[in-house]
């Protein structure tokens, strides 16, 4: 079974990979150290938009940037979950509204027929 990595985990691993690349570590060795395939490593880098040639040295990497990125990823996941729940609630409310409207139409039709007979 394949493992799905969390976005925060990917960000942390890519930061570590950038540090290793700045020290001259080969891509294959970086991927092996991270416990991923070389293709996964390259896909992650491409998705992030970083290039090894522009990798920062360990002294330049700002820990707060990593923490902020992790917090943003977590907040995004929370918002997606909340959005999903809200969509579900809206769908339920729309169905309930339709049921109420149908009942009102049936009742008004019955009242009209009943009043028409008199």
User: What domain range includes position 60?
Assistant: 7-92
| The predicted structure's pLDDT at residue 8 | 87
| The predicted structure's pLDDT at residue 7 | 86
Work out the angle between the directed axes of helices 7-22 and 27-34 (0-180°, nearest 10).
140
| The predicted structure's pLDDT at residue 26 | 92
| The predicted structure's pLDDT at residue 117 | 58
State which residues of the chain have pLDDT below 50. Answer: 50-55, 59
∠ Cα 8 13 58 (to 5°):
115
Contacts of 55 (CB under 8 A, 6+ apart): 18, 19, 21, 22
111 domain-assigned: no
81 domain-assigned: yes
Residue 70, class by beta-carbon neighbours within 10 Å (0-12 exposed, 13-18 middle, 19+ buried)? middle
65 domain-assigned: yes
11 domain-assigned: yes
108 domain-assigned: no
How many domains would you assign to the chain?
1
54 domain-assigned: yes
| The predicted structure's pLDDT at residue 73 | 85
| pTM of the predicted structure, to 2 decimals | 0.40
87 domain-assigned: yes
115 domain-assigned: no
């Amino acid at each position: 079974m394949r493992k799905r990595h969390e976005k925060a985990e990917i960000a942390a691993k890519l930061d570590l990979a950038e540090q290793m690349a700045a020290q001259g570590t080969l891509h294959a060795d970086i991927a092996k150290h991270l416990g991923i395939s070389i293709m996964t490593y390259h896909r992650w880098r491409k998705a992030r938009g970083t290039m090894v040639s522009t990798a920062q040295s360990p002294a330049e990497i700002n820990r707060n940037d990593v923490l902020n990125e992790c917090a943003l990823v977590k907040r995004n996941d929370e918002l997606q979950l909340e959005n999903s729940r809200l969509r579900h609630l809206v769908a339920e409310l729309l169905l309930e509204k339709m049921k109420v409207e149908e009942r009102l139409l049936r009742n008004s039709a019955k009242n009209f027929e009943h009043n028409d007979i008199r």
